[in-house]
A and B are shown apart, each in its own frame.
Chain A
Amino acid sequence: MTGFIDLYTEAGTFLHRTDPRVKIVAVATLSLLALIMSNLVNLLVLAAVMVVLILFGRASFKKTMLAFSYVFRVMALIVVLWPLFNPGGTPVLFDLWPIKITEPGILAGIATAVRIFCLAAAWYLLMFTTSQRDLVRGLVKMGLRFDFGLSLAMSLRFLPTFSAIVESIKEAQRARGLELDKGNFRKRAKDYVAVLVPTVITALKMADTLSLALQSRAYGARADRTYVRELKMRAGDYVALFIAVAVFAIPATVKYIFSVPL
């Protein structure tokens, strides 16, 4: 649980200012674009564009590295394993039964890794430049039911609370002589019950108060609920939306209507 971090970094760049709904659309179109392209050069160009956008978004270096460290590991794995499992085409570079490696196999592996990078970068770009609050607000405005949005917001909000609770319970059990993270798997699993049970009880108690607090603040009083900050599409947002759609629509037309491979 302690592994959770909020990727958002506060800054005033155009990416931060863009309406969250537009950014959600852009993530979708950029992801689709990465999926319909298979040519390595095209994918590299897209990846370069993503890198530039992330630099524009001024995400904190530490958070960026942390976020991408997982992606890089997956990419490395794909580059190594893809050619081994897809030994199609010629020229054959290496053939010693049962291992056969071909040039198209290697290129396809690299292309897939770059595609994964582009997909991850699109999502991270959204997470880097949009606060959780705006994200939820955007989703609700796009038609997500308010109570679902509220649940989503509350789970994000309570993540740090629960990791704090888990930590304090661990601490309390250690003080009573429980040695967590020692011994074989069975012992460890048993020891963690001593952390799990109080955590669940605390969580249930909190949920009780939470439900009373929600009702005390007139939750569900009226169907025509208002919002303290309304999202408003400005001129720049419409331009961004147009670009976000075009970025996918144009290549898709080229590929599927004019049958040009991308």
Chain B
Amino acid sequence: MQALHLRDARFRYKGSTAWALDGVSLDVEKGEFVTILGANGSGKSTICLMSNGLVPHALPGDLEGTAEVFGLDVRSHPVTELATKVGIIFQEPESQLFCMSVEEEVAFGPENLAVPSDEIRERVEWALELVGMEGYNDRSPFSLSGGQKQRVAIAAALSMRPDMLVLDEPAYALDPVGRVELYQVLKGLKEHHGMTVLLAECDSEEAAKYSDKVALMKDGRVISYGKPRDVLGDPERLRALGVTPPQVSEVSALLKERLEGADFSFISVDEAERAINEKFTNRKRGREQ
């Protein structure tokens, strides 16, 4: 059983003639960190919204094909049920935090599920610690920085004890420091708590660094899906799809073009260092001989 299982899924928002998802097949295994990359309007958000049933329950439309979350068909299970399996975090930090204090924010989910107060308090402390926001209980969400808001939003999802987190362009409004902190939190959740993470992004920098797998989307379809180095190697192709390529992959492409015999294809700084070192030490050795 996969965390997310889409097979030839098609979805058309009510009142619209075009298919937002036009035959998507995508499997996210439990414990994986998967990033969906694609241009504006390619269908990333629709997949995110489908993962906890907001599509098609809150945002109705025609849904065809297979769409299952932990083996549950999203059509026949309400959002309130799927919400205990999948926690969702949206792009805009301000409008998803609606309580007057961080504590109430994180407690809101379990309160709705009628969890006893003592246990809610434990969960709040646990969740705030996981996202590095312990001690902020009485602060107003409004007074926090963008990155802190997103981490509180993650804690608010975690307190419902989900098995998967889905984040729709969560770093969009964040500064570089906020981005790094956010991704570190997600990495920790995956590595130490076996959390399944599904992310939508326009920029592939972090996707290359943190994901187990990357899905490239175009016009409501997944056009390639696999390890980051297999999918993100070609910066020209990424740009054509409206995705910002990882910075080092541009260096890699440049070297490939300018240096004869160099067959570079790296997508992370570590890889780049290794490849370049190897190349130049080989050359030097060649000359010395």
Contact = CB atoms under 8 A, between A and B. Distances in A.
Contact of A133 (B52, B101, B156): B101
A150 to B, nearest CB: 8
Interface stretch (B117-125, B179-187, B231-239, B263-271): B117-125
Contact of B103 (A211, A219, A228): A228
Contacts of B103: 228
Contacts of A133: 100-101, 104
B113 A222 contact: yes
A153 B98 CA distance: 8
A219 B141 CA distance: 19
Contacts of B121: 228
Nearest to B90: A209
A221 B108 CA distance: 12
B95 interface: yes
Contacts of B191: none
B96 interface: yes
Contact of B117 (A160, A216, A221, A226): A226
Contacts of B57: 215
Interface string B8-20: 0000000000000
A152 to B, nearest CB: 10
Contacts of B113: 218, 221-222
B99 interface: yes
Interface string B102-121: 01100111111111110011
A219 B121 CA distance: 18
Interface-central residue, A158, A217, A218, A227, by most chain B CB under 10 Å: A217
A224 B94 contact: no
Interface residues of A, number: 35
B160 A161 contact: no
A216 B112 contact: no
B79 interface: yes
Main secondary structure of the interface of A (DSSP, over half): helix
Interface stretch (B81-89, B205-213, B273-281): B81-89
A230 interface: yes
A230 B98 CA distance: 20
A214 interface: yes
A135 to B, nearest CB: 10
Contacts of B58: 211-212, 215
Contacts of B96: 209-210, 213
A234 interface: no
Contact of A216 (B87, B100, B116): B87
B49 interface: yes
A133 B107 CA distance: 14
Given A209-B96, A214-B98, A220 B112 contact: yes
B104 A228 contact: yes
B160 A217 contact: yes
A187 B247 CA distance: 50
Contacts of B141: 157
Interface string A96-139: 00000000000000000000000000000000000111001000
Given A210-B95, A218-B80, A218-B112, 11 more contacts: A153-B100, A157-B142, A207-B95, A212-B49, A219-B108, A220-B112, A221-B114, A226-B110, A226-B111, A227-B111, A227-B117
Interface of A: 131-133, 136, 153-154, 156-158, 160-161, 205-207, 209-222, 224-230
The 10 A-B residue pairs whose C-beta atoms are closest, nearest first, are A228-B107, A221-B80, A206-B95, A213-B96, A217-B109, A209-B95, A218-B112, A133-B100, A228-B120, A218-B83
